[in-house]
Amino acid sequence: MSTETRLLLDESVSYRLPRSVVPERYDLHLEPEIEAGTFSGTVDIAVNVHTETNEVLLNCLELTIAQAKAIDDKGKELIAKTGLDADNERLKLSFAKSLKPGLWHLQIQFAGILNERLHGFYLSSYSDSSGTKHTLAVTQCEPTDARRIFPCFDEPDFKAVYKISVLVDQDAVALSNSPVQSEKLEKSKDVGTPAAAAKSKKSDKSEKSGKPSKVKAKKLVVFKETMKMSTYLVALVIGKLEATEPIMVDGTPLRVWTPAGKTNLAAFAEKVASASLSFFNRYYGIKYPGEKLDLVAVPDFMFGAMENLGCVIFRENALLLDEKTAAQAELERVADVVAHELAHMWFGDLATMRWWNGLWLNEAFATFMQMLATDEWKPDWKRWDTFGVSRGQAFSTDGLLSTRPIEFTVRRPEDAEGMFDVLTYEKGASVLRMLEQYLGSESYRLGIGHYLNSHKYENTETTDLWDAIEEKSEQPVRQMMDSWIFQGGYPIIHASKEEGGKRWLLTQHRFFYLPEEKRSHVKQESVSRYHVPIMYTAALGKERVTGRVLLTGNSTEITLAGQADWLLLNAGGHGFYRCAYSDDELAALTKNLYTELAPIERFGLLSDLWASTLNGNTDLKTFFSHSYKFKAETDKNVWTVLIGAIVYLNQVVGKGQRSSLKEYVNAMVVPALEKIGISDKTASTKKTSPQDAVKEQLRGMLFACAGTLGESEDVISEAETLYGRYKKSRTSISPALAAAAVSVLAYNGDDAQYKDFVQQFKKATTPQEEERFMYALAGFRDKALLSKTLEKTLNGEIRTQNAPYVVRAVMLNPWGRELAWNFMKENWDIMMKTYPEVMIPRMCEGVTGLISEDLLLDAQSHFEQNDVKQGHRTISQHLEKLAVGVYFKTRERQTLERSWIKH
Ligand SMILES: [Zn+2]
């Protein structure tokens, strides 16, 4: 499908800048006025003019242009007429005489606003422990917001060298991609200029006491040149920050920067970063391409983090934590994000996608690498098993009719923003893991190294990677991957026994959540065929046989040496497909569940069973009866599926059916919790081993479920005791139990509890604790309290970077869903104006919890009338998930109304 890639580029041409003028180098100078919320700057862009022209097009948005000119290599100047085209985010420079081919400098003076929407050049603020407020100026350029900071050729394949300087307050820290080359104090630069005269006149009037006017001293910070890189990686952070001492990792100085007073939370990130950096140096076989590496935590950030070369910016909870009080999941989150961003320094920063249709590979690959690096650093965490849960999230979106192929045509910038989703990250990484496992990890690694070495400082197409791996592995990689990349969805493989188990027939169909009768008008199934690398295990008496087969057409066969008692597909659990067995085969497989199957395989079996319950191939009664076989389960990830099903059923049940849910939780979850111990008296933050930490995580999950949906009196009263201890000393109980106790108390909590949690949220000393109490405010059942929570999402008490997620959390809480849904509709216009655009579709995920026919109709009509730019597809996915829920509820009405445990 290489022609298809070429086609993508051609179709995009009208939205792209011409290639007749190409930038080589930017000399960029910026002067932010943080208090005023403005900035000004100049840029000198050295460009190569390839064909004679009297017009140059650049990208530019929300900037005012004071002056622009072009200078040739002999110093001859041509003044430009400037035209801004806000719709197409462009600046046109027109010249009276044409620019001859050769080297030119474009010099532009401009000014802009430091915005509050977390993109381009924006403001972020915090109060330190003494209550003093500090405001930072921060940049976020990916995908297409560098153009809000300076006029530029804002497409990833216009790679150039950047020489950046800034004029900032004398006491501010200024960070960019490269190390500081020089710093010089500027003595009142304004003196003698009209602006300074105006300023001093004004202050003379206001300060009659005759005190000298207070002009903040400034300094000029000049950074060293960067390597050749894309505009979307340009970074600046300016303001009051503190740093850890630099440590050297294979010759690269590494530091963590934090808001004032928080460097004590940086030690863990520093350890992860140091381990990952050295892992990647070895894995890729290429030294880290930057001169230094700063990891910077800022109080307001749109994404989890951003891989700016040498200056990676994070939201606080993705970088900072207190190891003594952080739960296992919180440690994993920081390890993941740090490793992910560092993986990008090579894959993304050094070798970069040519255009945004390749964004998925950039992100999928970094997600794959974050797992690999963490797995090497902490093998006990069994990171690839936990990744099964993320793969499950991709399955649930990719099983929809409204899913999309991993790679799709990107014409306009906003198309690229629709790519930051579970299909890019989790599905993409799953497909890469499937490939790696099929080829063998070493030939895969050699292919990656070959790809990076051949394309460093350049731009690539997706197929360049497949070709490089194909060369090293001598396998038909491109053909196999195209079937996963250019069509949406995934197959379900049916295994049927022939000749008493000597032969097994495997067939593939595309999996859908929507029942057949609801999609009869769509003919997609017949065209979807995947190249599925299938790994299997078969039981021939006492012997276990493993093997692999590549299924490329409708069906294939496995012939074994003898008759197998059972056959398990997707052995090892790495494949991106579901499996289906007949009742007899399933019974044989689950007979010795705990002795024969690995946890990840039990996870797959149960997760596939739940999926087929949602789409109606298995009825709910059958699911319940199989679920009892998992009561003795001790694996946290398998429990995630069971608890996920319970939480889903909590959104489906009507008033009269809630007691059945409670009964089921008490039959399934409470005994499992009692087996581990409702509360381990010795459990504290002193984790003796990683296994204990994982067991603690399971205890926390079961505890939270039993104390909320199970309403277990014992658990509720234990939660009170634990929370009492926790308030006195954060380290007196295990972090996993602390989080669970907080959610139990919220669910069962009153007004006083709410006030207490608001206090805890406001005075939290770690980002994790702040987040824990913030989300607890969405977990109450009292509508008046939930209303207060919703108010905080608009009045500034909850930061913009979190507010949309809190709205979503209340919508997913069955006690608050209608309230939150109405709140969102009423405040829609304000939210669209104040929340970052990419967060709107994520907030709307809350509608998947509105499982009733009336609300489905209401949601459909809301989104018909209110367009979510950049999120059309995501919104249709949410609505389809909601529809799947409504069909399920209607279909299973009878089963839901009876007791669930007497089947
Ligand atoms: Zn990434």
Summarize pLDDT for 724-769 with one digit per residue, the tens.
Answer: 999 999 988 989 999 999 999 999 999 999 999 999 999 999 999 9
Distance 45 CA to ligand 1 centre (A): 28
Mean confidence (pLDDT) of the chain: 92
Is the pLDDT at 320 greater than 80? The verdict is yes
Distance 113 CA to ligand 1 centre (A): 27
Distance 336 CA to ligand 1 centre (A): 11
Query: What's the whole-number mean pLDDT along residues 389-393?
Result: 93
Is the pLDDT at 222 greater than 60? The verdict is yes
Residue 191 is predicted with a pLDDT of 41
Query: What's the whole-number mean pLDDT along residues 419-431?
Result: 94
Q: Which of 284-293, 556-565, 681-690, 862-871 has the lowest mean pLDDT?
A: 681-690
CB 175 within 8 A of CB 237: yes
Q: Which of 809, 811, 755, 751 lies closest to 782, judged by CA?
A: 751
Is the pLDDT at 32 greater than 60? The verdict is yes
Active-site option among 89, 341, 461, 769: 341
Distance 307 CA to ligand 1 centre (A): 7
Distance 809 CA to ligand 1 centre (A): 24
Paired tokens of 323: 């190891």
Paired tokens of 210: 């005759």
Residue 592 is predicted with a pLDDT of 87
Paired tokens of 83: 């035209």
Query: What's the whole-number mean pLDDT along residues 769-793?
Result: 98
Model pLDDT for residues 682-733, shown as the tens digit of each residue: 544 455 576 777 888 999 999 999 999 999 999 999 999 999 999 999 988 9
Q: Which of 45-59, 196-210, 533-547, 789-803 has the lowest mean pLDDT?
A: 196-210
Paired tokens of 535: 């790994």
Is the pLDDT at 66 greater than 50? The verdict is yes
pTM: 0.92
Residue 214 is predicted with a pLDDT of 60
Scanning the structure block, which residue is given the tokens 């039959």? 667
Sheet strand arrangement including 491-498: 555-559, 503-510, 491-498, 578-580
Distance 361 CA to ligand 1 centre (A): 10
Task: Assess whether 245 carries a catalytic annotation.
Answer: no
CB 809 within 8 A of CB 792: no
Distance 301 CA to ligand 1 centre (A): 14
| One-letter identity of residue 697 | Q
Residue 807 is predicted with a pLDDT of 98
Distance 836 CA to ligand 1 centre (A): 18
Give the whole-number percent of the chain exceeding pLDDT 90. 85
Distance 766 CA to ligand 1 centre (A): 24
Residue 216 is predicted with a pLDDT of 78
CB 330 within 8 A of CB 432: no
Residue 527 is predicted with a pLDDT of 62
Residue 77 is predicted with a pLDDT of 96
Distance 531 CA to ligand 1 centre (A): 27
- The span from the CA of 682 to the CA of 733, in Å, is 9
By three-state DSSP, how is residue 527 classified? Answer: helix
Residue 1 is predicted with a pLDDT of 29
Distance 473 CA to ligand 1 centre (A): 26
Distance 594 CA to ligand 1 centre (A): 37
**CA 113 → CA 34, 38, 117, distances in Å?**
10, 4, 11
Q: How confident is the model at residue 518 (pLDDT cuts 50, 70, 90)?
A: confident
Is the pLDDT at 270 greater than 60? The verdict is yes
Distance 371 CA to ligand 1 centre (A): 13
Paired tokens of 1: 């499908």
Residue 655 is predicted with a pLDDT of 83
Query: What's the whole-number mean pLDDT along residues 604-630?
Result: 95
Paired tokens of 52: 């004679």
CB 816 within 8 A of CB 808: no
Residue 643 is predicted with a pLDDT of 97
Distance 769 CA to ligand 1 centre (A): 25
628's enclosing H/E stretch is: none
Is the pLDDT at 902 greater than 70? The verdict is no
Is the pLDDT at 776 greater than 70? The verdict is yes
CA dihedral 327, 333, 335, 337 (to 10 degrees): -160
Distance 800 CA to ligand 1 centre (A): 21
Residue 522 is predicted with a pLDDT of 66
Is the pLDDT at 508 greater than 50? The verdict is yes
Distance 367 CA to ligand 1 centre (A): 7
Paired tokens of 869: 């730019």
Model pLDDT for residues 410-423, shown as the tens digit of each residue: 887 678 878 889 99
Model pLDDT for residues 233-248, shown as the tens digit of each residue: 999 999 999 999 999 9
- Pure H helices in 635-766: 636-652, 658-676, 690-707, 713-728, 735-747, 751-763
By three-state DSSP, how is residue 491 classified? Answer: strand
- The span from the CA of 803 to the CA of 831, in Å, is 10
| One-letter identity of residue 760 | Q
Distance 347 CA to ligand 1 centre (A): 10
By three-state DSSP, how is residue 327 classified? Answer: coil
Inter-helix orientation angle 690-707/636-652, to 10°: 20
Model pLDDT for residues 81-138, shown as the tens digit of each residue: 999 999 899 999 999 999 999 999 999 999 999 999 999 999 999 999 999 999 999 9
Distance 62 CA to ligand 1 centre (A): 26
Distance 680 CA to ligand 1 centre (A): 39
Distance 838 CA to ligand 1 centre (A): 15
CB 874 within 8 A of CB 418: yes
Q: Provide Rg for the chain, Cα atoms.
A: 29
Cα atoms found within 13 Å of the Cα of residue 343, Cβ hemisphere only: 23
- The span from the CA of 386 to the CA of 690, in Å, is 14
Residue 795 CB-density burial (10 A; 0-12 exposed, 13-18 middle, 19+ buried): exposed
Distance 74 CA to ligand 1 centre (A): 43
Residue 688 is predicted with a pLDDT of 59
Distance 402 CA to ligand 1 centre (A): 24
Paired tokens of 811: 């919508």
Distance 424 CA to ligand 1 centre (A): 10
More confident residue, 412 or 446: 446
